[in-house]
Amino acid sequence: MKISIGIMTDGEPIFKNIGDYNILQNQLIGCGFHWQRTISSKLPGVLHPTGDSEFPLVNTIDIETYLECVVGSEMNPDAPLEFLKTHSIISRSWAVGKVLGCHAHSNEGKILSDDELRTWEDTADHIGFDVCSDDHCQRYQGIQPLTDKAKEAIRATSGLIIADADGNPVDARFSKCCGGRTETFDTCWQDIHPASIESVKDPWCDVTALDVKERDAFLQTVLKDYDRSTEGGYRWRAVVSATEIEEYLQSKFGINIGHIINLIPLERGASGRIKRLLFKGDKGDVIIGKELMIRKALAPTHLYSSWFDIERPSHDMFILNGRGWGHGVGLCQVGAARMAQAGHSAEEILHFYYPGCRIERMEESDEITDNER
Ligand SMILES: [Zn+2]
Ligand SMILES: [Zn+2]
């Protein structure tokens, strides 16, 4: 099975082909997030220029090669093997579902009105290729982050996916750290409840109880250096002023409700992530959702998550005491890595984060040839 990946670059793409792979000098990663940077990457397979300004290159490769690269790009490829095997299986389930188009997606439920902006960016929003190379889909940064351990994880799980009761690949989302409870799909995207995506209480990702040395050593083994934060995203605190929020609403969403007087959470998801947040201004009110839009509205790039409580030390200042890093749906990477470190198998980790899932090997008939695409 082949997969096509849209690649973002910093300016015009600068690349050259060297036999089986391409050297791309200016791949853009973490686009719009605080870890945004430009890297040089080694991309296998065929690289097609598209002429598009957002995704100027499309890389077409075999899906197993793609997965090797994703596992090396998402996490530190020296993380515990059972964790890397777990990641290989969920990344394969998600990617196969994307290529075969079997995950239900629609724009139904988005609201764009004067009073409410409730929207989301789903992975189905891409046209012309299956997945993008960034955090929006799965991180794909070529073959250079690969280690023997990551290759072993892919080989050991070759063809394995998690499937629902009907045999369809689970829409296996994942995020950095759930913060103590995973979230349901509808808090972040469409108002649907895909099979095996449920909210589960997660005791594993709380690294705050570990002593500092043990915690740092664990996070260093699991996370990429630019993803490392002192508490793995389990707990965080952000300070934002009313003036800053007013500016973010204006510059990011074109919304002007004047000076911000209050923030009132109207609806939370199963973990505690805010799904709809009321912004009260001196010229009017607006409701913003879902979780990613709320994260964007309150920080220069994004907040770690939309799971936070609000403190008001002064009328112009908001302190957000938060938990979790990312949308929190499906597998929690920090928690899963700790389960693996504690001796749990990939199978046990998958059943913990995707209740009711079945681990299945893809049939040959699931494969589609280039001619059928
Ligand atoms: Zn994408
Ligand atoms: Zn967790």
Helix, strand or coil for residue 124? Answer: helix
134, 270: one domain: no
Q: What percent of the chain has pLDDT over 70?
A: 92
The widest CA-to-CA distance across the chain, in whole angstroms, is 64
301-332 pLDDT, tens digit per residue, is 899 999 999 999 999 999 999 999 999 999 99
Asked whether 102 and 124 are in contact (CB, 8 A), the reply is: no
Peptide bond into 290 cis (omega under 30): yes
Number of compact structural domains in the chain: 2
Q: Which of 226, 236, 197, 221 is nearest to 324 (CA)?
A: 236
Residue 356 belongs to a domain: yes
For residue 326, the ligand closest to its alpha carbon is 2
136-155 pLDDT, tens digit per residue, is 888 899 887 677 888 899 99
Gap from CA of 80 to ligand 1 centroid (Å)? 27
Cα distance between residue 7 and residue 173, in whole Å: 21
For residue 132, the ligand closest to its alpha carbon is 1
283, 349: one domain: no
For residue 207, the ligand closest to its alpha carbon is 2
87, 29: one domain: yes
105, 21: one domain: yes
102, 119: one domain: yes
CB-based burial label for 131 (10 Å; 0-12, 13-18, 19+): buried
275 is in which domain, residue-wise?
235-323
pLDDT at 74 > cutoff 70: yes
48, 196: one domain: yes
127-137 pLDDT, tens digit per residue, is 889 999 998 88
Question: Which DSSP string do the residues of 24-69 spell out, in sequence order?
Answer: EEEEEESTTSTT-EEEEEEEESEEEE---SSS-EEEEEEHHHHHHH
pLDDT at 257 > cutoff 90: yes
Beta-carbon neighbours within 5 Å of ion ligand 2: 178, 202, 205, 332, 335
107, 203: one domain: yes
350, 302: one domain: no
